[in-house]
Each structure stands twice: as C-alpha cells, then as structure tokens.
Amino acid sequence: MPLASLLVPLLAVAPVAAPAPAPFSADECAVFARELSFAKSVADHDAAAFASHVAPDAAFAAGSPRPQRGRDTIVRAWTPIIRGDGIRLEWYPVRTTAVGDIAWSTGPALAEETKDGVTQSRLSSFQSVWRRGADGQWQVVFDGGTPGRDADAAAIAAFRAARPTACPSR
C-alpha cells in the first residue's frame, strides 16, 4: 500500500495550525501607533488632531459609489462623528503591513448610534491605506470598511477587551 494512501485520511482529520503572524517592522509599528492615535482623535472629539491624520488628497468610503474626496470634505463629513453627535465610533488596528512609504492597516470597528433614546450597536471592520510624507509622518490616503452587523453587550465587551495599547510585536 502506498504511503500517500495512509496519510490522506490522517490529513483529512488533523487540525491545521494557522501560521504565526510575521513580526511587525518598525514602519508597521509606526503605522499601528498612528492608527491608534487616529482613533483617539475621534474619541477625544479633537477635529484638528483628526485632520492631521488625513492626507490632503485622501478618499474616505473609498469603496463606495460616492467616496469623500479631500481632507476638507472628509473632515466636514466626519464632524458629527468627531463631535459625537448621536454616534460614537471606535476602532483599532490588528494588523499593519508596510512597503516603503505605503502601508495598510485593518481591524474591527464599533459604531454606537443613538436615535430617539435608542442605541444601535454595530461591529464592522476597516481598511486604511497610509502614506509616509516627506516629513516622515504617516497620513491616511484611503479609508473604507465593511457593512456593520448588530452587536450585543457581549460582543461589545469582547471588542473593547481586545483593544491593543501598543504594537503587538516587534
């Protein structure tokens, strides 16, 4: 009996371990920290700090039929979110990948919107593309996300408990 015929049944039931994530580079950790800072600007209701994270030529809702183009347009569109007018938005990165002066980040996001005293909570994920400027500062050039799904108290608690405070590896 060929050895392969003995191994095939074993492979069908053997658990497959996911490969360990590659360590973050210095640039990836810098983008990770910048993404955390970007989220903090919204949590702190700091429009100036928010704007400093957005490239002048950025596009938000990049995958939508009507992306927001340009820093001024984006800041105006995000003003209610930044102020927390009936909506609270939180997010954090879980992975960043950088090549040269371009980087990508992704992670979960939580939107809690209150209307007529009723709060709806939705979890989604985001993806952002960052570019390092001549001054060395990383700014978002593209931002987008997935549609949200309803989140209960346990999902919200899990989201908040998983929030990192610094780059997870280096």
Only one residue has tokens 């005293």, namely 117
Is it the case that residue 126 has pLDDT exceeding 80?
yes
Instruction: Assign 3 a pLDDT band (cuts: 50, 70, 90).
Output: very low
Is it the case that residue 93 has pLDDT exceeding 50?
yes
Query: Full-prediction pTM beyond 0.75?
Result: yes
Q: Which CATH class is domain 23-161?
A: alpha beta
- If you average pLDDT over every residue of the chain, what do you get? 90
Rounded CA-CA distance 58/71 in Å is 6
pLDDT at res. 6 = 41
- The full set of domain ranges for the chain reads 23-161
Burial status of residue 105 (CB atoms within 10 A of its CB: 0-12, 13-18, 19 or more) = buried
pLDDT at res. 20 = 66
Rounded CA-CA distance 73/47 in Å is 13
pLDDT at res. 15 = 56
Tokens for 59, please give them.
Answer: 């596009």
pLDDT, tens digit, 9 for 90 and up, residues 30-63: 999 999 999 999 999 999 999 999 999 999 999 8
**Is 129:140 a contact under the CB 8 Å cutoff?**
yes
Is it the case that residue 16 has pLDDT exceeding 90?
no
Q: Which amino acid is at 67?
A: P
